A and B are shown apart, each in its own frame.
Chain A
Amino acid sequence: MIKMVVVEKTYKGGIHALNGISVEMEKGEFVFIVGPSGSGKSTFMKLLTKEEEPTAGEIYVAGKNLANLPRWRVPYLRRNVGSVFQDFKLLPNKTVFENVAFALEVIGRPKSVVRRQVPQILELVGLGEKLDRFPDELSGGEQQRVSIARAFVNRPLILVADEPTGNLDPATSVGIMRLLDRINRTGTTVVMATHDHAIVDSMRRRVIELEGGNVVRDQSRGIYGVGT
């Protein structure tokens, strides 16, 4: 589903974010990307949606070599890769329903599909009763659920989550993780960058640890840190 072959990324100004990493992820895997700030986690995530391009190496996502993907095809890649962020990125002037519906409308899905799928997915994330609320009327955890609903409403093959629990308290985070786990069980590959020890340790899923732009550990059913 995802394959990186000796991928390097050097930003303008000479900062080396990734130093030739190679990883492979199968369909339906749940993978944590862990490591301290500046280890290359965010760069890793951005490469998957072609928000950034590698300086060297090859990246395959959902069967496509991203290097050969022309710019105009990038939107179609992103329809297969849902994104969730630490800061939710919801539109404050739209209701919960509208925020999720927006994701379908702008890729040209017909109204009938929007009307059917949006309530369904909001039910799934546990917000079936709050369709007409605005984001600032919701708790942080609820907002993140809306953002996950938006990323998943189009049934992408891959869900990419960059620190989705970074702004949430531990109890709320558990709820979010249950949700991501449920999504993973539908066969969706989930890639989640985090530095939340408790979460990684409790989930016991594959862990890829980055440090200084290198993969220093790749362990199935791993915990956050070997030594900690």
Chain B
Amino acid sequence: MRANYFLSETVTNLKRNVLMTVAAISTVAISLLLLGGVRILDLTINNVTSRWEAKVEISTFLRDDIAPDETQDLESDLANMNEVQSITYVSKEEAFEEFKELYADHPEFYETLPKDSLPASLRIKLTDADYTQLVAARIRGAPGVDSVNFGGDIIKRLLQVNSLLRTITLAMSVILLVAAAALIANTIRLAIYARRDEIGIMKLVGATNWFIRIPFMLEGVFAAMVGALVSGLVVLLSNEFLFSRVGNFLQFLGPVFEFSTSEILWVLALLILVGAGIGIVGSMLALRRFLEV
């Protein structure tokens, strides 16, 4: 009978100010959608960077006068490093062949070059792109090494852009979340005001504060949850219909807009959890000071 009572009270309150409720629900939905956007952006950037990181390698160009045992030593040193995944030796001849392939359209580039003009090199793949600087520094001074090259800058740039986008979107979503909590608090305050006589009598006859509070709290949490569900639905539908199209459009980046079901479910869980949190915070804000007598 209690559950019945709370439920019918909550529904009455929600109906009493439809407009405020709709405003609160949509603010929650929009702010959570931004939050979901941040998560999707993160996942996308992860997809991009992990693809790019897989291609990152350190090219160690060897001097022409390097002794065979120096090459051996270098290779075995590298093989002993935990950060190193694989090492490929590229001879001068192989380097020249690659060069020819790369500039197949411009034979004038390589026709004039002596076949041994390109240096031999070791191509090192790492277990994680984060170690690039570290490993590069270790090899740099080694005997027989002419120069060390790696393509880490592009990734760095990408991560910087990502963190900037992330910060902006996150800040916007936090601001909206606060606004959403305030709107929910306001909705509840209106509901309380509309029923102040009843609340007065409830206190008079000895209803406990929690008994009075619960319908209002349910109202806040309900509004927030509806908002969360709306945003979750938009994420699901986007995953189903929108992301694949954007992915087709940006095919050159690879399958960066494909997310696993578990990734999407985690995003949904995040939205619903944060939604419930907003509902509770908003309700608490409204109820904090109304039962003083």
Interface residue ranges, A against B (CB under 8 Å): 49, 51, 71-72, 75-79, 82-83, 89, 91, 102-103, 105-108, 110-111, 150-151, 154
Contact = CB atoms under 8 A, between A and B. Distances in A.
How many interface residues does chain B have, given as a range? Answer: 10 to 19
Contacts of A151: 205
B204 A83 contact: yes
Interface string B207-222: 1110110000000000
A106 B207 CA distance: 5
A79 B204 contact: no
Contacts of A103: 201, 205
Interface of B: 1-2, 5, 197-198, 200-209, 211-212, 293
A76 B2 CA distance: 18
A124 B205 CA distance: 19
Contact of B293 (A51, A72, A91): A51
B205 A150 contact: yes
A91 B197 contact: yes
A93 to B, nearest CB: 9
Contact of B2 (A75, A78, A89, A108): A108
Contacts of A75: 203, 206-209
B253 to A, nearest CB: 59
B206 A78 contact: yes
Contacts of A83: 204-205
Nearest to B211: A106
Contacts of B209: 71-72, 75
Nearest to A89: B201
29 contacts: A51-B293, A71-B209, A72-B208, A75-B203, A75-B206, A75-B209, A76-B208, A77-B206, A79-B206, A83-B205, A91-B197, A102-B198, A102-B201, A102-B205, A103-B201, A103-B205, A105-B5, A106-B205, A106-B211, A106-B212, A107-B206, A107-B208, A107-B211, A108-B2, A108-B211, A110-B1, A111-B1, A150-B205, A154-B206
B216 to A, nearest CB: 14
A78 B209 CA distance: 12
A151 B5 CA distance: 21
A123 B87 CA distance: 97
Nearest to B198: A91
A49 B203 CA distance: 10
